[in-house]
Structures are given as structure tokens and as C-alpha cells.
A and B are shown apart, each in its own frame.
Chain A
Amino acid sequence: MGRSALLAALALLVTSAAGGTGEAPVDVVHVTANSGLAAGGHVALRIDEHAYHWEVHEHGFLVLAREEWRTFALRYGTLENRSMRLVRLDLLPDQRTRLEGALLWFWRAQQRDLAQLEALSTERRWHRHLEGADPPTLAGRGFFDRGLAADALVDPAAALGEAGELSPSERNRLTDLAAALERSIVQLVHSPRLDRGRPLLLALARHQAVMHSLSQGRFLLLDAISDQRVVLDPEASALHRDRVSEMAARMARGWRRERQALGSAPLDEPTYNQLEEIATGVHEMTAALEHGNPLRARPLGRLIPNRPGSVDPMPGARPLEGRADDAAAREAHFRAELAGRYGYDLFRNNCATEIEAVLAEVTGLDAGALAFIPAGLARDVAASDLARGTVDLPSHRRRQVAELAHRQGRLRVALRESNTWTSTVYQPSIADDAFFFFADGTPWTRPLLGTANLVYGLGQATVGLATAPFDRGRRAWSGLRGAFYSAPEMVGFSIRKGRYDLLPEPIARHSGVQVSQPQ
């Protein structure tokens, strides 16, 4: 099939899908409470394949996140082990379009504002650099140091102790990719695109990586982690070696699977980027496990390699008097402006109030006084004329327990899975506080289970006093937190549900999240 025929087929797919968006689901998603972050729960809007939700970022701004619904469901429903209630909205096609448009408009505007803040910060750093401070960094510059930097590449085969020799088919694909990158480099040099610098540096670095792969006969890929600063204490990696080991095994399986699946498809940019991501994961886990290297953090979503590096394009330039202070003042002023626009406030400006505001604007929703609480907003929406029905998505643990009960018998499974010691579907998270019983089941049992959890938590805290010299007080602190979260259970509220450090198998082996869809 020729390129124009492919484009025509794609056009048909895109337009037919777009034409059917009036039928796509729109839900208000209430995520229940759990201990830890967002203990009071969370709320999001799901529109078709995307979740829109406001999160508090580290700089204190309330930021609208737009992510795949599947990723959202895995984060909250599985890793955070929180149940979700979806209130499906009955919207007119025009309302749906306006709702998504309003969210996308806000998302674009806010991302632009945050980019502007970053630009002002860079400007200030340039001026400070002229006064003698370290130069600012440029995305993509870190790959080069008289050619490709020695540590810019990861070698998954070496990390796994395999020969990893390129097959003839892989060689052909890499050769084609090198030619495509050369064309891309030429086009980017002449591109009118104002932000072409970063993709240009990336294409140059990738070209070098491909040429190294061809000359050495095995895959060598760019290290996809950009921020080298956020690292985990090696002691923590050593302490949780079992988890790192499990992750290393998963990454290794993933790498082999991806390589096997290469097939005969052309190696285009998204496909090659996928290889970079998984190869970086293999390298990261193996280096932590075998050499005790600090584990680097990775952000959510795709990793596009853009390692920053220092650059000094004006060697010997003199500082412009007062400009650095002016730049700093502009940055501070804009930051304050953004704090006024996007600052988090427990009662007036949070994830629930923002969703309430956009729904009120588009649909005329009249929510009650408690709509600033995620549960309150979900309740009000469910009771309004907008609601077409609700669907409950149990947390990962509850889903697993229900499935086991169906196969192995209700009483046996209920008893075994009621507590953290004998449960087979729950592996305590490192971040969990100490508790014995899961109290997120039948409400009337909570006071009894909560009391037992309180005693258990206090007991752990007491034992922790004795073990504090050896574990830096971890057990004692975990016990105290456990006792703390038992108190609401004693009066019938369940906050704590336990959570997972790693995506439980077999979900991690499959490509799709298995959550039931509302009808």
C-alpha cells in the first residue's frame, strides 16, 4: 500500500472516530481515600480515553493533568489500591464538545504559563552565569562531548550478560533508520519550527547511537532518563533488593519481548523510542542491583531522551549591570502571579472545586456546599439530572479477592484474605503503615477491626522502640502511623486500604488494564 493510500485509510479512521465522539463516555470519577498522599480521595473527569484531573505539584500549583485513562486507572485503582466510582454523565453532544474544549483550553494555557515561568528562570540563570555562576543547561546538549558522550548510551545486552548480536533483519532496519534520521536532520535544520533545537540534537545523538550499534553489532541506545539529579539513596535500593530484583527481571523480559516483536515493521521514531525506554530500564535496574548504583527516578509517561548539558555560547561576555536582578524580579513576579492563579487551597481551589467549576460553566451543575470534597462532589453529581448512572470499580485487592472467592469458596477466602499476614493477593508496600486487618469491607465490622489494628499498630510501635537503633526507627514510625489510621476505623470510616509497590502480576505481563467498563 502506497503512502497516499495509507494516509487516506488513516484519515478515514480519524474522522470516523472524531465523528462518533458524541457517544464517547464522560464520567466524573471519584477515587476513594487511602493513607498517604491525597488521603481524602481524588476526583477526575474521564472523557473517552483520557482522564483530566488537577494535582498539586511540588511547586505548590494545582496543575491540570491530561493522561490516558488506562494509566490513571493503573495508578489509582491498582498501585494505590483505591476503589473508584464512575458517575456517567448524560450530556448533549454540544455540552460534551464544550466540556472537552474548556479542559483542553485550560490545559494548553496552563502548560504555556509553566513553560513561560521556566523560560524566565532560564533567562535569570543566563544573567547570573555572566556574573560568574554556573551556566544554565540546554536539553540535548548532554549527549555530546567531542562526539557522543561516553555515558550517553546504554547497552542492554551487556547489562543482561548476553551476546545480543543484531540479526540481519535488525541490521537492515537500523540502516534504514540511520537514513531516515539523516533526512530528518536536514529537514530540521531548515525547519521553520521555533523549537527545533531539541529534536535536532536528539536526531543527531540518535544517529550516532545507530551508527555505534551497526559498527558494534548490538543495540546501543540513548539513555532516556534526562534528569540525573533525582536519585534514590543506594542504601534504600539495598534495603529493598527484592523489589529491585523483581523489576530487573521484568525489564529483562520486556526487552526480550520487544526485540522479538520487532518483526518486519519499519523502525520509526515511536518504535525506536520504545526500545530506548525499555533498554534504559534494563540498564537502570541492573546497575542498581549489581553495582549498587543509585536508582534514578523516571517521570510518568513516555521518556524522550533529552539529557541536558551546560553550554556557554558567550565565553568572555561581561555581565549586563542590573539585568540579573531584573530577570530575577520578573521571574518572582510571574511566579507570584501564577500562585494567585493556580495556587492550591484546601477549601476553595482543589481538584474538586476545579471540576465543579467547569461542570457548572458547561452544564449548569448546581453543586452543594460540600462539593469541595471529592466525595461530596461525586455525590452531588450523582444526584443531579446530569447523571445517567454509576459504576463501581473495586480496588485491585478487592477485585482479586472477589475472583478468588468465586473459585475457592467465599468463607475460606474471606478469612485468609482478611489480614496482611495470610493474604495471598496483597504484598505489603514499603510505604504502608503497620496494620493487620483490612477494614474496607462491611462497615459494621470496622470498629472491631479498627480496634485490633490500633492495638497492632501500638504494639509495633513499642517493639519499634527496641529495634530503633537498627532500623532508624522505621518500625516505630510505621506502628504509630498504623495506630493513627486505625482511629477512623474505630468510628466506622475506612481510609487505609494498603497499596502496591510494583504493578502486580499478571497485569504487568499484559498490555492492557483490565477494568470493567460502564454500560
Chain B
Amino acid sequence: MSTRILSLITAIVMLALLPQLMGCQMSRASSRSFASMASIWSLSASFKSSFGRDRANLDEEYARDLAAVSATFVDSPVREAALVRDVTRVAEVHGISDWESADATWLGIGVGLRQAGMSEPQAVALVAQVFGDAGATRTAAALEAQ
């Protein structure tokens, strides 16, 4: 009898310990549970406000973020559509959909390409190839302003 109880307790403990091995959070983006939804809504309410913060700081965060991503463009086999979508993805994280209009976009891309070892003319040429001449002009202007 006591062996049976011990086995039962061991089985329960083993079962309970199994999750110890299971790491990695599951994405809660589409969770329908109230707790998950409530936590994400409450988290969103605490997101840093754009207001009351220096506009230049927000632009700087965006440009730095884009520079980090753009630095990896150099080794990419140039696929225009893919690189454009990469910029879109980063810009949307910062609340920007029309990123062509933002000066910080061209500065971020230019700085990123320079960080990756490109010369200014090389960086501007790559921008022209992927994003068009208008983008290249603005990138050149942003880099020259440094």
C-alpha cells in the first residue's frame, strides 16, 4: 500500500516537474483569455507617450533603430522589395507608416550603411538603387549634415 502511495506521489511530482523542461513563452498576440488580453491592454496604457518627450529623442530612437537594421543591408543580396519591407517593419514599431517623409529615415539608413563600412558614395548609391533617387538625395544631405 505504502509503495503504491509513494509511486503515486512520485508520478505526480514527475508530472509537475515536466514543465520545468518546457521553456519559451508562447506568443500571446492572439490569445483569447481574459487575463492575456487584459495584461496586454494594461501594458499598452503604460507605453511611453510621444508627448512630453523631446521630439529629437524620438527621432533619434527611430534613426538608431533603423541604423542597426540597415547595417545588415550591406551583406544582403539586394532585393529591393525585401529591404523596403524591412524599413516599413522598423518604422511601424515607431508609429510611422509614411517613412519616406521622415528625415530620420534617411539619416538612419545612411548612418547604418556607413557603420557597416560603406563609403558615403557607396551608401548613397545603394539607397538610390533600392529606394530611388529622392531617397538618395536626402540620405546624402543627412550624411553631409554630420
Q: Which residues in A have some Cβ–Cβ distance to B below 8 Å? A: 3-4, 6-15, 17-18, 33, 35, 37-43, 49, 53-58, 62-63, 65, 70-71, 74-76, 79, 100-101, 104-105, 108, 111-112, 115, 183-184, 187-188, 191-195, 198-199, 202-203, 230-233, 236-237, 239-240, 243-244, 247, 250-251, 254, 257-258, 261-263, 265, 268-271, 273-274, 277-278, 281, 284-285, 295, 297-304, 344, 346, 350-352, 373-374, 429-431, 484-485, 487-488, 490-491, 493, 495, 499-503, 507-508, 510-512
Report the separation of the CA atoms of residues A63 and B48 in the bound assembly, to the nearest whole angstrom.
Answer: 25
Contacts of B60 in A (CB 8 A): 10, 13-14, 17
Assuming A188-B98, A503-B42, A508-B45, is B26 touching A37 (CB within 8 A)? yes
Contacts of B28 in A (CB 8 A): 37, 300
Contact at A351–B24, with CB atoms within 8 Å?
yes
Contact at B32–A373, with CB atoms within 8 Å?
no
A499 CB, nearest partner CB in chain B, Å:
8
Contact at B92–A274, with CB atoms within 8 Å?
no
Contact at A79–B43, with CB atoms within 8 Å?
yes
Contacts of B44 in A (CB 8 A): 277, 281, 298, 300, 303
Q: Which of B62-105 contact A (CB under 8 A)?
A: 63-64, 67-69, 71-72, 75-76, 80-82, 84-86, 88-89, 92-98, 100-104
Contact at A270–B34, with CB atoms within 8 Å?
no
Contacts of A430 in B (CB 8 A): 34-35, 38
A81 CB, nearest partner CB in chain B, Å:
11
B50: Cβ under 8 A from any A Cβ: yes
- Known contacts A39-B22, A247-B38, A503-B43; can you find 8 more A-B pairs with CB under 8 A? A4-B141, A11-B146, A108-B69, A195-B85, A247-B41, A269-B95, A304-B97, A499-B35
B29: Cβ under 8 A from any A Cβ: yes
Assuming A199-B97, A491-B13, is B26 touching A100 (CB within 8 A)? no
Report the separation of the CA atoms of residues A505 and B26 in the bound assembly, to the nearest whole angstrom.
Answer: 26
B43 CB, nearest partner CB in chain A, Å:
6
Contact at A203–B98, with CB atoms within 8 Å?
yes
B80 CB, nearest partner CB in chain A, Å:
7
Report the separation of the CA atoms of residues A294 and B118 in the bound assembly, to the nearest whole angstrom.
Answer: 52
Q: Which of B19, B49, B67 has the most CB of A within 10 A?
A: B19
Contact at A15–B16, with CB atoms within 8 Å?
no
Contact at B31–A297, with CB atoms within 8 Å?
yes
Contact at B19–A105, with CB atoms within 8 Å?
no
Report the separation of the CA atoms of residues A374 and B25 in the bound assembly, to the nearest whole angstrom.
Answer: 11
Q: Which residues in B have some Cβ–Cβ distance to A below 8 Å? A: 9, 12-13, 15-17, 19-52, 55-56, 58-61, 63-64, 67-69, 71-72, 75-76, 80-82, 84-86, 88-89, 92-98, 100-104, 107-108, 111, 115, 131-132, 141-143, 145-146
Contact at B81–A194, with CB atoms within 8 Å?
yes
Contact at B30–A487, with CB atoms within 8 Å?
no
The answer, among A247, A273, A351, for a CB contact under 8 Å with B95, is: A273
Chain A's closest residue to B74 (CB) is A101
Q: Which of B38, B47, B49 has the most CB of A within 10 A?
A: B38
Contacts of B51 in A (CB 8 A): 258, 261-263, 265, 271, 274
Contact at A373–B94, with CB atoms within 8 Å?
no
B42 CB, nearest partner CB in chain A, Å:
4
Contact at B49–A511, with CB atoms within 8 Å?
yes
Report the separation of the CA atoms of residues A373 and B35 in the bound assembly, to the nearest whole angstrom.
Answer: 27
Contact at B96–A270, with CB atoms within 8 Å?
yes
Chain A's closest residue to B92 (CB) is A304
Report the separation of the CA atoms of residues A56 and B84 in the bound assembly, to the nearest whole angstrom.
Answer: 27
Contacts of B48 in A (CB 8 A): 70, 511-512
Chain B's closest residue to A485 (CB) is B16
Assuming A298-B40, A493-B20, is B45 touching A487 (CB within 8 A)? no
The answer, among B17, B49, B80, for a CB contact under 8 Å with A257, is: B49
B26 CB, nearest partner CB in chain A, Å:
5
Report the separation of the CA atoms of residues A501 and B31 in the bound assembly, to the nearest whole angstrom.
Answer: 14
Contacts of A54 in B (CB 8 A): 24
Contact at B37–A57, with CB atoms within 8 Å?
no
B52 CB, nearest partner CB in chain A, Å:
5
Contact at A301–B41, with CB atoms within 8 Å?
no
Ordered nearest first, which 3 A-B pairs have the shortest CB separation?
A: A39-B19, A261-B51, A431-B35
B21 CB, nearest partner CB in chain A, Å:
5
Assuming A430-B35, A484-B16, A493-B17, is B26 touching A14 (CB within 8 A)? no
Contacts of B17 in A (CB 8 A): 487-488, 493
B30 CB, nearest partner CB in chain A, Å:
6
Contact at A12–B146, with CB atoms within 8 Å?
yes
Contact at B24–A350, with CB atoms within 8 Å?
yes
Report the separation of the CA atoms of residues A6 and B58 in the bound assembly, to the nearest whole angstrom.
Answer: 13
Contacts of B76 in A (CB 8 A): 108
The answer, among B26, B95, B107, B132, for a CB contact under 8 Å with A304, is: B95
Contact at A40–B84, with CB atoms within 8 Å?
no
Report the separation of the CA atoms of residues A240 and B80 in the bound assembly, to the nearest whole angstrom.
Answer: 49
B19 CB, nearest partner CB in chain A, Å:
3
Assuming A261-B52, A274-B51, A495-B20, is B96 touching A502 (CB within 8 A)? no
Contacts of B22 in A (CB 8 A): 38-40, 346
Contact at B72–A8, with CB atoms within 8 Å?
no
Chain B's closest residue to A101 (CB) is B72
Contact at A295–B37, with CB atoms within 8 Å?
yes
Report the separation of the CA atoms of residues A303 and B50 in the bound assembly, to the nearest whole angstrom.
Answer: 14
Assuming A250-B42, A501-B42, A511-B46, is B115 touching A18 (CB within 8 A)? yes
A332 CB, nearest partner CB in chain B, Å:
22
The answer, among A11, A101, A295, A490, for a CB contact under 8 Å with B111, is: A11
Report the separation of the CA atoms of residues A8 and B20 in the bound assembly, to the nearest whole angstrom.
Answer: 52
Contact at A192–B40, with CB atoms within 8 Å?
no
Contact at B45–A503, with CB atoms within 8 Å?
yes
Contact at A112–B82, with CB atoms within 8 Å?
yes
Chain A's closest residue to B48 (CB) is A511
A45 CB, nearest partner CB in chain B, Å:
14
Report the separation of the CA atoms of residues A3 and B107 in the bound assembly, to the nearest whole angstrom.
Answer: 13
